[in-house]
Amino acid sequence: MATKIYIPQKIDPFNTHLKNLVEAYKTLQVDILVGYENFLDATFIPDVIHFHMLEGLLSFLKYDNKLFFKQLDFFQSKGVRFIQTAHNVLPHISIKQLNFEEVYRRYLHYIFMVVHHGSASKEILITKFPELSQKKHIVCHHGDYLSDMKQFNENYFQARVKLALPQERKIILVFGQLQYKNTSFAMDVFTNIRSKHPEAFLILAGVNPVFRFNKLNKIYYKINNTVFNRFRKDRLHLHQRFSQYETYLLFKAADVIFLPHNSGLTSGIIPLSATLGKPFIYPRIGVFEEQAENCLSEKYDPGNIVSASDALNKIIHADIHDFDNSEWMLNNNWGVHAKKILSNL
């Protein structure tokens, strides 16, 4: 009989790691269900509930933590086991409706197993939450994004033509939810690097925190992307969400991907860069270094402009548009990830 796994999470069409994990489970004949609604369904009893971003589920429950724990108790009474993938130590943003850390600590007592994207993640979480020391821990590396990108084939030069980007510039890309990417630091590093590389060109691409949850955001984005960028000679601010194809083009067109984070546990930008064979620089935080194994990359001290500039300078001097990612792909795929979870249930 196939294992029944329920993931109480919404699949984000713009960040497809969860979709890829679900597909890997299906390939292994797992009976899989995804979505928030079934968390309240007393008739659906899985073998395992695999939690990811707990804050999303709590938001769906309108931050009713009594209801949340009532359902945990119900599923536990039916013999359901709970596993948690550690994406962050705590959510990026504070949750005004409840004390998330307090709820999270209580929730951790229910967990059977914690899935980490790197070995250092275990120590980091246990230091913060000693109650996790008695739980089972496994390391399953964050998988690739090949299934999202394999249908696209534009190379470095063709991607620049498609995006109307200058062929002669050294393009540095900062990508993702920009409110978490320490963009002021990225700008400082870029200013510093241009003294040695006047050909450097910065692209900040992703959702901007300004008006993010307001109807005015579309107006702001349109003005920024179509008007303000006309006056920016050495950089572009592209405040929008990108399709898979647009994401592919941006990464392929870049010379180096810059992760300017000052805190974090894991990164989805590293496996995305690695999937496309793009060089990148990253801070010494979380499990970033382990994620970057077998990649063309440089690390730097978080928040240190000189250290980040030196790392960026090394990559730019290397003058490599794409690196051989075959070894990284071999060790970081969702099939291996899902098999390891199933073998430890």
Based on the fold, state whether residues 49 and 114 are members of the same structural domain: yes
Query: Quick check: 77 pLDDT over 60?
Result: yes
Last residue of a domain, one of 108, 139, 170: 139
Does 341 reside within a domain? no
> What tens digit of pLDDT does each residue of 3-27 get?
899 999 988 877 788 999 999 999 9
CB 87 within 8 A of CB 124: no
Q: Which of 139, 154, 170 is the last residue of a domain?
A: 139
What token pair was written down for 301? 């001290």
CATH at residue 57: 3.40.50.2000
Residue 175 domain flag: yes
Within a domain: residue 338?
A: no
Q: What does pTM read for this prediction?
A: 0.89
Q: Same domain, yes or no, for 218 and 94?
A: no
Query: HSE on the CB side for 164, CA within 13 Å?
Result: 2
pLDDT at 16: 85
93 & 155 share domain: no
Q: Taking Cα atoms as reference points, which of 34, 29, 30, 27 lies closest to residue 8?
A: 34
Q: How far is CA 52 from CA 10, 11, 100, 111, 331, in A?
A: 10, 11, 15, 12, 22
User: Does the pLDDT value for residue 183 go beyond 50?
Assistant: yes
Residue pair 221/207 in contact (Cβ under 8 Å)? The answer is no
What is the per-residue pLDDT across 131-153, written as a single tens digit (0 to 9) for each? 999 999 999 999 999 999 999 99
Question: Residue with structure tokens 């300078």?
Answer: 313
67 shares its domain with 47: yes
* pLDDT tops 50 at residue 1: no
Q: Is residue 211's pLDDT more than 80?
A: no
- Model confidence band, residue 261 (pLDDT cutoffs 50, 70, 90): very high
Same domain (yes/no): 26, 41? yes
pLDDT tens digits, one per residue of 81-133 = 999 999 988 876 667 778 888 999 999 999 999 999 999 999 999 999 999 99
Residue 58 lies in a domain: yes
Query: How many structural domains is the chain composed of?
Result: 2
Average pLDDT on 229-233 reads 68
Kindly state whether residues 223 and 306 are assigned to the same domain. Answer: yes
d(CA 330, CA 233): 40
Residue 27 lies in a domain: yes
Q: Do 67 and 176 fall within a single domain? A: no
Say yes or no: 215 and 135 in one domain. no
Residue 193 sits in the same domain as residue 109: no
Specify whether 193 is located in the same domain as 317: yes
Pair (245, 292) in one structural domain? yes
Per-residue pLDDT band for 285 (boundaries 50, 70, 90) equals very high
pLDDT of residue 127: 94
pLDDT over 80 (residue 232): no
> What is the pLDDT at residue 226?
66
Same domain for 175 and 319, yes or no, is: yes
How far apart, in whole angstroms, are the C-alpha atoms of residue 309 and residue 15? 29
- Domain of 217, in residue numbers: 146-329
Q: Is residue 345 part of a domain?
A: no
